[in-house]
Homo-oligomer: A and B are copies of this chain.
């Protein structure tokens, strides 16, 4: 296949194509230095003796309102969670709005109220912002960018390259809820009933995790675009390990299960916005699970797999099915569900 000479929708999907695009483009951004070998959810910087976390995300979700959230809540949670995944306490958010001319003022106000409410939930406010308006047809309603600034506590180093064979892989609840809730809100699909986004700020859950199992934690990741499957592939690649999931342990809510069956989707590839994959040394797993289960956002926390030594590139992520068969979990190629965040 000839290399595509334009950017495709699939390049934004969190899968193989996006990683290939980034691998090609990142060296352009740092022509004199090596690009970072490990892309975590947030960069950690030493600034004047402070350990700061810094991250950014743009949000283009359509529709802007969906069961369990909206673009404003998503913009806060997405960035707060990226900070939380490196163990950082969020300190400030920026808010950049790109508005299509003609957007109802009421919509904008509703989104900003939602930004404020989600910020209050996470204990972080918007410190700086920007508003741009483009003419009708030059954007789709409203795009939001948030950047986040956080403080990483002393001694905390969570990273995609720190995962080790033997680590337990935990998650704080059911998978696939967000992507399917957004899909359901696109009314033409006619999906109904019980699909609700898990969109939530995870910083207090991560604080509890750090307190309970800090020294045993190796890596946290929020499985957004590309879902659990893409995120496990990223981490497995960065740490040079393999991950084996237990199918029977994967928590999937019944409405998600049903919708996935109807649509031919696999919840492993569907985005989450209130979930963390926790890679923790086996001896810390019980304490980590206990801490998560004691938190409102982690009541259904479970161990879903184990980290194994890497034996072969093709088996970086596998799953033992209910029948005991081990099957390969592929890295998704491109966009499964466009514009879910």
Chain A positions near chain B (C-beta within 8 angstroms): 4-13, 18, 21-22, 25, 28-33, 42-43, 45, 47-50, 52, 54-60, 62, 91-92, 94-106, 108-109, 112-113, 115-116, 119-120, 125-135, 137-140, 143, 145, 147, 149, 151, 335, 338-339, 341
Contact = CB atoms under 8 A, between A and B. Distances in A.
* Nearest 4 A/B pairs, CB to CB: A12-B133, A147-B147, A56-B94, A145-B145
A103 B6 contact: yes
Contacts of A18: 131
| Residue of A94, A104, A135 with most chain B CB atoms under a 10 A cut-off | A94
B56 A91 contact: no
B115 A8 contact: no
Contacts of A108: 7, 25
A99 B59 CA distance: 12
A172 to B, nearest CB: 23
Given A7-B105, A9-B101, A47 B58 contact: no
Given A134-B339, A145-B96, A109 B28 contact: yes
A313 B212 CA distance: 59
B56 A52 contact: no
A62 B99 CA distance: 15
The winner among A22, A29, A56 for most chain B CB atoms within 10 A is A56
A24 B338 CA distance: 33
Contacts of A338: 133-135
Contact of A151 (B9, B47, B56, B91): B47
8 contacts: A13-B133, A31-B116, A32-B120, A43-B92, A56-B95, A56-B129, A130-B145, A134-B140
A210 to B, nearest CB: 17
Contacts of A56: 94-96, 128-130, 145, 147
A191 B145 CA distance: 34
